[in-house]
Copies of this chain bind each other. A is one copy, B any other.
Amino acid sequence: MIRALVFDVFGTLVDWRSGVAREAARLLGAEVPTLDAGAFADAWRRRYGPSLETVRSGARPFVDLDTLHADSLPLVLAEFGIVGVSDATQRELVQAWHRLDAWPDVPHALRRLRTRHLLAPNSNGHIRLMADLARRNGLIFDAILGAGHSRDYKPKPALYRDAVAAFGFAPAETLMVAAHSGDLAAAASHGLSTAHIARPRENGPGGGETAPNVPVTYAARDLTDLADQLGC
């Protein structure tokens, strides 16, 4: 019996690559007409894991994802040979991550899931970032968990344990929903139930996970399929 669903967000609920590429083209395209905006989004995303690791390892105290994105942005700009981007434009670029669109199946499926379950993001994005994405896409959650709540980053144990504790159900009654097998393997190691959502276009031409490569409780084609499987 599943009582609460906690969601990965970047890639699972929202299409980060298209949104970041759109904002990069808008903000940099005039000065860099040859910019491959999708590749720019990919390059920024590649900095994500190493950025998180500086916090997870204890090398730096917890800072939110806006700070990590702002710190890695100059490296990405340099990688593309883009110089002279103003501080104001860099701040706007960081806001790109607040302006992502949900995958088309998400808004309606979340409304169905919410009729029978408590819902929360369990993302590496902080509270304001999650609130902005929810508002933009008309998503309603019962709480915002994840990095802003646990002051650390997945896959550290606190993120999964705190997500279970916040709603107070048994771990197996709490379903971690993600398009990434590594996130689900970590959740399962703490006793959570797990649902994999196929997002074959997460990385654009780079594809995305079409199926889990670890054991999961549910494997779904999209969030609508998960709502069907849960009988919502």
Contact = CB atoms under 8 A, between A and B. Distances in A.
Interface residues of A, number: 18
A127 interface: yes
A118 B166 CA distance: 21
Nearest to A169: B128
Interface of A: 118, 126-128, 130-131, 134-135, 140, 142-145, 148-149, 166-168
Nearest to A130: B143
Nearest to A145: B127
Contacts of A143: 127, 130-131, 143-144
A142 B134 contact: yes
A143 B143 CA distance: 5
Nearest to A121: B143
A140 B135 CA distance: 11
Contacts of A149: 149
Interface centre among A126, A142, A145, A149 (most CB of B within 10 A): A142
A148 B168 CA distance: 12
A167 B118 contact: no
A118 B144 CA distance: 13
